[in-house]
Amino acid sequence: MFGLGTPELIVILGIAFLFFGGKKLPEIGAGLGKGITSFKKGIQGAEEPEPEKEQSKEQISS
């Protein structure tokens, strides 16, 4: 995972805790989780062709 081991992750989390504080970290984590989820949904939606567009392309070519 990007060459980061357990000690490096602990240091990064410790710095984040000192910088943002204990009350803000859960909010930041929830926001990141929602952002990643919406990004994945957007990527999956872009990979799957929409049926309406496929039908309209077939009608145009006919």
Flag whether 45 is in a domain. Answer: yes
Q: What total number of domains does the chain contain? A: 1
For the chain, give the longest Cα–Cα distance: 64
Is residue 25 within 8 Å of 17, Cβ to Cβ? yes
Flag whether 1 is in a domain. Answer: no
pLDDT band at residue 44, thresholds of 50, 70 and 90?
A: confident
Percent of the chain whose pLDDT exceeds 70 = 74
Flag whether 49 is in a domain. Answer: yes
3-state DSSP assignment of residue 8: helix
Is residue 28 within 8 Å of 20, Cβ to Cβ? yes
Res 30: pLDDT = 93
Residue 37 lies in domain: 6-61
Cβ count within 10 A of residue 2? 4
pLDDT above 60 for 59: yes
Flag whether 28 is in a domain. Answer: yes
pLDDT above 80 for 49: no
Flag whether 24 is in a domain. Answer: yes
pLDDT above 60 for 52: yes
pLDDT above 80 for 48: no
